[in-house]
């Protein structure tokens, strides 16, 4: 039955980790913070259709510094030519992070507690040089939708 499938899907959240359901970083639509929000770029962002867009700085997609919520664009005058950086600085939506190996049940709990139902996924960058100062790579993005899908699609 559908009810049984959903129950099984919910139980499987304990065994599955973020990496298995996230959107991989190469498929994540992000914007550089210097993007100018004119009529053309706003139309393009709206056309692409995502509600939340990670914003990166210094041309480095690994360096996500903000989140643009498409709703923030509604009251913007395209002729003001504000940058994405300016709009993000005004709204200051915090970016959440989770590790790639976090169980989905934990991510779901975090989403229930907080306001934003999206997190960037990071992974420890293994390098030979320094063991004391680990760095991180962004490997994807996960939303509540990805977890709900997992619950509903269990076999």
Q: Interacting stretch for ligand ATP, rule CB under 6 A, among 35-43, 58-66, 88-96, 125-133? A: 88-96
Instruction: List the x/- string, 22-51, binding to ligand ATP by CB under 6 A.
Output: -x---xxx--------------------xx
Q: Which DSSP state fits 17?
A: B
8 Å CB contact between 64 and 55: yes
Q: What is the full DSSP assignment across 38-106? A: -HHHHHHHHHH--SEEEEESTT-TT-EEEEEEGGGGTT--GGG--BHHHHHHHH-PPPPEEETT-BHHH
For ligand ATP, the binding residues in 110-149 under the rule CB under 6 A are: 115-118, 141, 143, 145-146
> Quick one: 94 or 130, whose CB is closer to ligand ATP?
94
Work out whether 61 is an interface residue with ligand ATP (CB under 6 A): no
For residues 125 and 110, the answer to whether their CB atoms sit within 8 Å is no
38 Cβ contact partners less than 8 Å away, ≥ 6 residues apart: 78, 79, 81
Q: Which one of 93, 102, 103, 123 is in contact with ligand ATP (CB under 6 A)?
A: 93
At its nearest, how many Å lie between ligand ATP and the CB of residue 70? 8
The β-bridge relationship of strands 31-32 and 52-56 is parallel
Using the rule CB under 6 A, is 98 a contact of ligand ATP? Answer: no
Of 53 and 58, which has the nearer Cβ to ligand ATP?
53
Residues that bind ligand ATP (CB under 6 A): 23, 27-29, 50-53, 67, 69, 71, 93-94, 96, 115-118, 141, 143, 145-146
């Amino acid at each position: 039955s559908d009810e049984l499938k959903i129950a099984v899907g919910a139980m499987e959240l304990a065994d599955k980790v973020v990496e298995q359901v996230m959107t991989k970083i190469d498929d994540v639509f992000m914007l550089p913070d210097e993007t100018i929000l004119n009529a053309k770029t706003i139309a393009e962002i709206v056309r692409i259709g995502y509600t939340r867009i990670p914003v990166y700085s210094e041309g480095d997609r690994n360096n996500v510094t903000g989140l643009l919520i498409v709703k923030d664009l509604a009251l913007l005058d395209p002729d003001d030519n504000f940058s994405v950086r300016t709009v993000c600085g005004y709204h200051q939506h915090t970016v959440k992070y989770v590790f790639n190996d976090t169980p989905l049940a934990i991510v779901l709990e975090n989403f229930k507690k907080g306001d934003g139902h999206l997190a960037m996924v990071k992974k420890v960058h293994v390098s030979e040089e320094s063991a004391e100062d680990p760095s991180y790579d962004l490997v994807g993005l996960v939303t509540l939708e990805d977890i709900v899908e997992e619950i509903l699609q269990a076999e």
